Amino acid sequence: MRNDWLKNYKGFMKIRIKETTPEKFIRLSKEIGLEIWGIEYESEEIFTAHVNLDDLGAVKKVAKLLSCKVTFTRKKGAPFLWASIWNRKGMVMGILSCFLCIIVLSNMVWKIEIDGATPELEHEVMTTIDELGVKKGSIALFLPPPEQIQTHIMNEREDITWVGVTRQGSSYHFQIVEKEIVEKTPATINGHLVATRKAMVHDFFVEKGKLIVRENELVEKGDILVSGNIGKEGEEKQVSATGTVLGEFWYKADIEVPLLSAVEELTGEVQKKHFIGNDRFQFPIWGIGKPDSEETVKEIFRENWEILGVTLPISYGYSYEYGIEDIEKELLKKEALEIAMEEGKKSLLDNFSNHAQIMDEKVLHQSIEGGKVKVSIHFKIIDDIAVRQPIIQGD
């Protein structure tokens, strides 16, 4: 094995000998010290063999002494390989240049993201990191590590509580947490919490003030729920009543749902496309057509490329583009009723506070008129019914 490696390192040739016998050629080669191996017969006077590149002069000497014809049929080994590469040095330099460009582009900053900051603070942070050279087009290998960038931002910006810096391939991501500036809230006006509608008290939580109502008590609009007058009689003082009073009440909603509903269905046509690119551009490499359908929907898949653990800024991707068509589907009355209930719940909660919950619903009336299902629904709602009302002299 060592001899084979040495022969490949020095180089060897396969020769074709004609007009002599192998015995004469082998005997004379031994006499002058010519190493020969791998002899194969083609005929009685023609055979092939292998010799070292260093023994080229000895081969010519043997051929002259025996008056035989020697031709070189194959050249192998490192010297011939390097000669072949040198003859194609233009192509080799092109490949190396392309590989070098890929390495440089994969280590270049292409994207900078800042989350959690106001537009003004984002601009100021961009200016701060620009001083460190962190900007689009810079080489990431020559930039400070993320920990050093984080420390620099924290030292420069007093309005930032914390900043996280991560590098993902060719992009930098900054997560900003701003300092919360506590502003003094103006003094609130003393007042009661009164009911905004007729309801049954379901639950309550009083932070300040005197609770007037009890659980399961029926209240009318304008009734005082939490009084702003606290203290013993004759020694009362006024405060701004705060808290939450949840009330239970019924709310009627009228909803219409058409029996004919437009839906999209796949036509069965599909076009697969392959491309190379990124989020900004896509260079197609296969598949340029599209389905005959007027409307289409597309699914895109990407496979990122990495070199030495670094994600390249370009990637290979493929997509499926499906043809779709709009058709009208006639709903059953039961299906239309279910849709009406769901739409009613979605639109209903927009009319109330964030505390609102739908506890129950009852269909009061349903009918089909003009191709539509008309439904009247009673929803049982629990919501905050308390609103502040200033204390008027004499309350």
DSSP letter for each residue of 134-153:
-STT-BGGGSPPHHHHHHHH
Q: Which of 238, 293, 245 is nearest to 271 (CA)?
A: 293
Task: Give the pairing type, strands 46-52 and 210-211.
Answer: unpaired
| Residue 392: both structure tokens together | 């008027």
What is the domain partition of the chain in residue ranges?
A: 2-82, 111-178, 191-259+331-395, 262-328
2-82 and 111-178: same fold?
A: no
Q: Which of 322, 323, 314 is nearest to 285 (CA)?
A: 314
pLDDT, mean of residues 300-312: 71
Report whether 254 contacts 379 (CB < 8 A). no
pLDDT at 184: 45
Where residue 262 falls among pLDDT bands split at 50, 70, 90? low
pLDDT at 1: 41
User: In the CATH scheme, what is the code of domain 111-178?
Assistant: 3.10.20.310
pLDDT at 182: 46
Give the SS3 label for residue 2.
helix
What's the pLDDT tens digit per position in 140-152?
Answer: 777 888 888 888 8
Q: How far apart are CA 74 and CA 392, in angstroms?
A: 112
pLDDT at 68: 83
Between 70-79, 209-218, 316-325, 331-340, the lowest mean confidence (pLDDT) is in 331-340
- Identify the architecture of domain 2-82 in CATH: 2-Layer Sandwich (3.30)
| Residue 115: both structure tokens together | 């989350």
Q: How far apart are CA 7 and CA 1, in angstroms?
A: 10
pLDDT, mean of residues 176-204: 76
In this predicted structure, the answer to whether residue 291 has a pLDDT above a threshold of 80 is: no
State percent of the chain over pLDDT 70: 84
Q: How far apart are CA 133 and CA 140, in angstroms?
A: 9
Cα 381 from chain centroid (whole Å): 40
- Beta-bridge mates of residue 254: 376
Q: How far apart are CA 112 and CA 176, in angstroms?
A: 13
Q: How would you list the strands of the sheet with 282-286, edge to edge?
A: 282-286, 260-277, 310-330, 295-307
Distances (CA, A) of 347 to 116, 253, 254: 31, 10, 11
Where residue 273 falls among pLDDT bands split at 50, 70, 90? confident
